[in-house]
Amino acid sequence: MSLSRSPLTDRFGRSIEYLRLSVTDRCDMKCTYCLPKSFKGYQEPADWLTFDEIERVVGAFARLGTSRVRLTGGEPLLRRHLPQLASRISALPGIRDLSLSTNGTQLPKYAESLRAAGVTRLNISLDSLTRECVTQITGRDTLDDVMAGLDAAQAAGFDPIKLNMVVMPGVNDHEVESMTEFCINRGFILRMIETMPMGSTGLASGFTPLGPILDKLRDRFDLIPEIKEMGGGPARYWRTRDGRGQIGLITPISQHFCATCNRVRLSVDGTLYLCLGQEEKVELRPLLRAGISDSDLEQVIREGIELKPERHEFREAPTKIIRFMSQTGG
C-alpha cells in the first residue's frame, strides 16, 4: 500500500485538503433552490459507491494530504447505516476533521450515534423560522422536525452547530435579523449563503447579495470580524462584540473565494467534481470496480486535481451548469 503523504496541490498552488463526500442523492425535502418538485432522476442504488469503495477513495485522499471530510447528500442520513461509515472514515489515518451537513429531520434518531462515530461538527439547513415559509421552501411542513433535530444535536454534545440559511429575495430575506437573534439565543452559528445558479431551480430562486445584509446586521448586533478559524470552508465570520454570537457569510456570487478554494466533491456515484461551477470531473467508480490499485488510484486523483479550474463562472455564465445541487453533493 502506498504511504505517500505529499500535499495534494493543484496547478494554481491551492492545497486540496477538504473532500465533500455525497453518500446519497435522495432527500426527504425538495427545497426550491435544490430540486424541482417533479424530479425523478435519482441514481440507482447499484451505482452508488459502497462503503468499502468510499473508504478506499477517502483513504487515498488522506494519504495524499487531505484531512477534512464532510458527509453530504441529498440528505446523508437517509443512507442506511451512515454512522458505521462515519466510524470507518474517522478512523482513517490522516483524517482529523469529520463533519456532516443535514436538514436535521433525522437527527433525533442519529445524533448520538453520529457523535459516537467520530462526527465532530454539524451544519444544519434552516432557511426560515416561520412554518409557512419553511413549507414553501422545502415542499412540506418540516419545522417541528428540524427543531427537534436541533435539540437532539445539542443534547448529544455537538458544538459548534452551524445553521445554514440560503437567503432568497422576496422569500426569506426579511428574516435574517430574527434568524440571527434566534441563533445567538440558542448558541448556534448562523451561516447565510447566496443562492448559486445550479440547474433551473437555482436560477429561479434569485440572488440576494449579502453585503448590504451584513451592514444591517453589523449595526443591529454590534458585529466585529472573527479572527479565529471556524472550519475549513469558505465562510467569512463575524461575532458580536460581547462574544455571545457568530455569523458567517458564504458569497460565491458577489465576492467569490475561488483563489483560496481547498475542496473537491465526490458524488454518490463516484464522480469526482473539481468545481461546483464547471464541468471538469473524473469518474472513479469504473476504476474501483475494475480493481485499480491504491497507488494507481492516488495517481488518478492527482491527475484529476490538475483539471481543477481556476474559478467558476456563475456570474458570467449563469446558465452553464444544468445539474442540480443534490446531484453534485452539497
Any residues with CB less than 8 A from the CB of 271 and at least 6 apart, and which?
Answer: 281, 282, 283, 284, 285
Annotation-wise, does 218 bind a ligand? no
Domains and CATH numbers, the chain: 18-328 (3.20.20.70)
Annotation-wise, does 125 bind a ligand? yes
Return the pLDDT at 115: 98
Residue 4's pLDDT band (cuts 50, 70, 90): very low
Contact in structure between 86 and 98 (CB atoms under 8 Å)? yes
Return d(Cα 107, Cα 102) in angstroms, integer.
8
Neighbouring C-beta atoms of residue 10, cutoff 10 Å: 20
Least confident of 85-89, 103-107, 235-239: 235-239
Any residues with CB less than 8 A from the CB of 13 and at least 6 apart, and which?
Answer: none
Overall pTM surpassing 0.85 (yes/no): yes
Look at residue 185 and give its three-state secondary structure: helix
Annotation-wise, does 133 bind a ligand? no
Annotation-wise, does 183 bind a ligand? no
Neighbouring C-beta atoms of residue 237, cutoff 10 Å: 18
What mean pLDDT is predicted for residues 101-116? Answer: 98
- Rg of the Cα atoms in the chain: 19
Annotation-wise, does 265 bind a ligand? yes
pLDDT at 207 exceeding the cut of 80: no
Return d(Cα 26, Cα 252) in angstroms, integer.
25
What mean pLDDT is predicted for residues 295-307? Answer: 96
Annotation-wise, does 20 bind a ligand? yes
Cell of residue 235, nine digits: 465562510
> In what helix (H) or strand (E) does residue 149 lie, and over which residues does it extend?
helix 143-155
Neighbouring C-beta atoms of residue 272, cutoff 10 Å: 23
Annotation-wise, does 300 bind a ligand? no
Return d(Cα 238, Cα 249) in angstroms, integer.
9
CA 268 to chain centroid, in Å, comes to 14
Q: Cα(first)–Cα(last) distance of the chain, in Å?
A: 31
Rounded to 5°, angle at Cα 197 from 128 and 279: 135
Return the pLDDT at 2: 44
Place of cell 492545497: 15
- Number of continuous H segments (helices) and E segments (strands) in the chain: 11, 12
Annotation-wise, does 258 bind a ligand? yes
Annotation-wise, does 74 bind a ligand? yes
Residue 34 — φ and ψ, nearest 5°? -115, -50
Classify residue 6 by burial, with Cβ atoms within 10 Å: 0-12, 13-18, 19+: exposed
- Residues 305, 309, 311, 314: is their CA dihedral positive or negative? negative
Annotation-wise, does 101 bind a ligand? yes
Least confident of 7-11, 59-63, 157-161: 7-11
Return the pLDDT at 3: 44
Q: Look up residue 123 and give its DSSP letter.
A: E
Residue 188's pLDDT band (cuts 50, 70, 90): very high
Instruction: Classify strands 271-273 and 263-266 as parallel, antiparallel or unpaired.
Output: antiparallel
Return the pLDDT at 329: 63
